Amino acid sequence: MCNINNNEHIKRIAWAIKAIKSDEALDKGINDSDLSLILKVDKNTLVRYRKGLQNTVKSVVVGVLINHYNFSPLWIFEGEGEPFPGAREKYPEVCGPMTEEEMRAIPRRRRGDDLMEFVQVPFIRSKAESDASWSEEDRDLFVKPMFRRGWLIRLGKPEDFVVLRKTGDCMEPTLRSNDHLLVYRGDNKVSVRGGIYVLEDSKDYAVRRIQPEYGSNRMLKLMCDNKKYETVITDVEFVTIYGRVVWIGRQTEIF
């Protein structure tokens, strides 16, 4: 039986084991001896799993979490959705973006309830921009961007979004200079599927397409869609992820 070896998986599995022992909807009050029998591991290993001290987790344990305790495999492996049915209301801090199935389960709401409300998302300027570089149009249009709460919830936690104006040509033609990017700050680690992320250093922000280097747990490929720029491969230790780009806004060209 293969093992699961991923730091984020291990953290979520540790949380799941703690939840089993404390949540009435799962197995509140169960002792380690009985739980170890259900999870098919010895008691000492169970304790290490619960404390997040084990580098790998046996896949049979994940199978029991999914089949016996109804944990979501999408949450365990990708961090998306809720850990188990009903967990979003009780444990919003560990839930990921809503899945399509969760969204379908939400009954239709009247216009005016919380999902139909608009949320003001903070607008973050480039660190290199000065107040003098802002026109009145900038202040009027982009200082207070608004998005519908229900739409944001599908992508993550509404309070974890910001809007950032992109500069430069490194991501053309996908992104253009002065595009406005909705950035989810809840994603500060690169997923196994990669994506477009905003990087941060002491001087400014940068937008890059990032993918994990094949066969490595630490190396990342930082790419520009504009082919005149070279791909950089670097250790994750030297990359600070500000957030993931989830939406792009731009003014259409007038001919």
Q: What is the CATH number of the domain that holds 147?
A: 2.10.109.10
Ranges assigned E (strand) in 130-204: 146-148, 161-165, 180-184, 195-200
Per the CB < 8 A criterion, the answer to whether 246 and 184 are in contact is yes
147 lies in some domain: yes
- What per-residue confidence (pLDDT) applies to 4? 47
Work out whether strand 123-124 and strand 180-184 pair parallel, antiparallel, or are unpaired: unpaired
148 shares a domain with 45: no
Q: Global pTM? A: 0.56
Q: From first to last of its 255 residues, what are the pLDDT tens digits of the chain?
A: 445 445 778 889 999 999 999 988 888 888 989 998 998 888 888 898 888 877 788 888 888 899 888 899 889 888 888 998 888 888 888 888 887 777 766 655 444 455 567 888 888 877 666 555 556 555 555 556 888 888 888 788 888 999 988 888 899 999 988 888 999 998 778 877 788 999 988 788 899 999 988 777 788 999 999 999 999 999 888 889 999 999 998 776 655
Per the CB < 8 A criterion, the answer to whether 220 and 208 are in contact is no
Number of domains in the chain: 2
- What per-residue confidence (pLDDT) applies to 231? 92
The per-residue DSSP string of 18-71 comes to HHHHH-TTTTTT--HHHHHHHHTS-HHHHHHHHHT--S-EEHHHHHHHHHTS--
Q: What CATH number did the domain enclosing 89 receive?
A: 1.10.260
Per the CB < 8 A criterion, the answer to whether 181 and 162 are in contact is no
25 lies in some domain: yes
- What per-residue confidence (pLDDT) applies to 131? 53
Work out whether strand 123-124 and strand 161-165 pair parallel, antiparallel, or are unpaired: parallel
Residue with tokens 């619960």: 50
244 shares a domain with 127: yes
CA distance 201 to 31: 47
Domain boundary among 42, 74, 105: 105
146 shares a domain with 89: no
52 shares a domain with 81: yes
Residue 209 lies in domain: 118-249
